[in-house]
Amino acid sequence: MAMAPANDDRVIIEFIRRGAYVKVSAIDPSTGDEVSIVGDPARGEMSLKQTAVKKLRYVQQKNKEKGGRP
């Protein structure tokens, strides 16, 4: 599978409804990094998406500070 360019800001978002909650995954296509959150669907798709992307960027920054990926 071809990877996206390194300067690519795109993020793949996946929503999976699990009963009363929704699991939201955010994947960086250029690195393959992936995080997930679980939230209340009543918060709205945009809010859940923003939270997942924020977590992805946080994890990537932490990994960068540690000197690489786990």
Query: What is the C-alpha to C-alpha distance for residues 22 and 33, in angstroms, rounded to an integer?
Result: 20
pLDDT at site 66: 86
C-alpha of 53 from chain center: 5
Cα–Cα dist 26/24, whole Å: 7
Q: Residue 1 has what pLDDT?
A: 47
Per-residue confidence (pLDDT) for residue 6, from 0 to 100: 55
Mean pLDDT per 10-residue interval, the chain, length 70 residues: 61 96 97 97 97 97 81
Which pTM does this prediction carry?
0.82
